[in-house]
Amino acid sequence: MRRRIVAGNWKMNGSRDLSEELVGYVRSEAGSLDNGVEVVIIPPAIYIGNVLDQAQGVVSVGVQNVGQWQSGAYTGEVSPEMAKDAGCRYVLVGHSERRQIFGETDELVAEKVSLVVSSGLVAIVCVGETLEERESGQAESVVAHQVRSGLAFVPKGQWHNVVVAYEPVWAIGTGKTATAGDAQDMHSAIRGVLKDMGAPAEEISLLYGGSVKADNAAALFSEPDIDGGLIGGASLVAKEFMSICRSFPAAT
């Protein structure tokens, strides 16, 4: 079912103290949200246990990456089954930092997505164009290709375990955000691609990410095809993160 989701991707930031203080605060506030937003925290894997202790089922928890296998001699990797066993509900797949810094390809993203959704976890599949691609008019075709290839192996009955996050690379950590109108246009195009693929497009949550802050979230979240946000820097500041979660109007 299409849900409102605000997820905080801590990237390689955080500590035991942040896990206690920030997640404790978010938990105490999230219980009283009246807008139906599901709040998700995605810390570095080593702090999953600390975050889960504080989340107490009120806040959902995810991992930032998984390997493409379920177990074995893959030093340094964590599998979807392990993430699930630990208590996670979400897995980020194909974040642009994984694609650009760690060389993750569309094929690898597709393999991971298939394993994640088949494990019963929700894959938040990240897509987005670079500045050069946007400036040369290719943004929509690049994103459409990432959606088609990244979701190529989703089994028919598993679309409820898929969320797509549109994160234009040029907007990540730069303070530049897409206008609400441009983000809406891309979300609508993504929904069109999902429909073409035979997915239940209207049921799939589409998140926007890239310099989302308390002062621009409400405009983004008022667009019809933007179902939430994937927040980087602002998710490390408890009050700012909660104020983003409150930026949706009350549920009708």
Check: CB of residue 150 under 8 Å from CB of residue 94. yes
How near is the Cβ of 73 to ligand 13P at its closest, in Å?
30
Is 97 one of the annotated active-site residues of the chain? no
Catalytic residue among 95, 104, 133, 187: 95
231 binds ligand 13P (CB under 6 A): yes
Of 100-108, 132-140, 152-160, 228-236: span binding ligand 13P (CB under 6 A): 228-236
> In the set 82, 193, 230, 245, which binds ligand 13P (CB under 6 A)?
230
Q: Does 167 bind ligand 13P (CB under 6 A)?
A: yes
Judge whether 117 and 158 are in contact, CB under 8 Å.
Answer: yes
* Helix/strand/coil (H/E/C) assignment for every residue in 163-175: EEEECCHHHCCCC
Cβ(195)–Cβ(215) under 8 Å? no
Active site annotation includes 187: no
Angle between helices 139-150 and 180-196 (to 10 degrees): 40
Beta-strand (E) ranges in the chain?
4-9, 37-42, 60-63, 90-93, 122-127, 162-166, 206-209, 228-231
Closer of 81 and 223 to ligand 13P (Cβ): 223
- The H or E element containing residue 48 is helix 48-55
Instruction: Give whichever of 80 and 229 is closer to ligand 13P, judged by the CB atom.
Output: 229
Q: What is the CA radius of gyration of the chain?
A: 17
Q: Please report whether residue 211 would count as binding ligand 13P according to CB under 6 A.
A: yes
The answer to whether 112 touches 154, Cβ cutoff 8 Å, is no
Q: Is 40 near ligand 13P (CB under 6 A)?
A: no
Which is nearer to ligand 13P, 3 or 69 (by Cβ)?
3
Site stretch for ligand 13P (CB under 6 A), options 52-60, 104-112, 226-234, 237-245: 226-234
Q: Does 172 bind ligand 13P (CB under 6 A)?
A: yes
Which residues would be at the binding site for ligand 13P (CB under 6 A)? 9, 95, 167, 172-173, 209-212, 230-234
Residues designated as active site: 95, 167
